[in-house]
Structure 1
Amino acid sequence: MLVAALKHQKAFELLEMQDKKFVEELNKGRGVPSIQDWDYAKSVLPFLEMFYDATLRISGSSYVTSNLYMKEVFALGRRIQQYRDDDDLSISLMASKMKAKYNKYWGNAKTINMLLLIAVVLDPGHKLDYVELCLVNSFGVEVGGELKAKLSSCLHSLYNLYQGADEGNQDDTLSQPSPSDKAKDIYDMGLYRRSTGRKSNLKSELDRYLNEDCESDDKPLDILGWWKVNSNRFSVLANMARDILAIQVSTVASESAFSMEGRIIDQYRSSLTPKMVEALVCTEDWLKGDFFSSLAPENFEELEKVEQDLILSEDITCSVGPVSIALEDD
Structure 2
Amino acid sequence: MVEATSDAQLALNVVSPMQQQTDALLTIDQLANFGLKSPEGPGKHYVLDTNVLLHEPGCLNRFQDNHLCIPADVLSELDRFKTEQTERGANARRVHRKLTEIFGPQSQVTKGVPTDGGGTIRLVIYDPSLCEKSSKELRRFHRIFPDRERVDHRILACTLLLAEHVDPPVVLVTKDLNMQLKARAVGITCEDYLNDKVAPQDSAKREMVRLMLDQNELQRFASSGEIELGDERTSELHVNQYVLLEAGEKQTIPARFGLGGKLVRLVVPEVLRIPDGNHLKPLNLGQKCFIDALLNPEISLVTCFGQAGTGKTLVAMAAGLHGVFAREF
TM-score by length of 2: 0.21
Larger strand proportion of the pair: 2
TM-score by length of 1: 0.21
Q: Which has the higher contact order (CA 8 A, sep 6+)?
A: 1
Larger helix proportion of the pair: 1
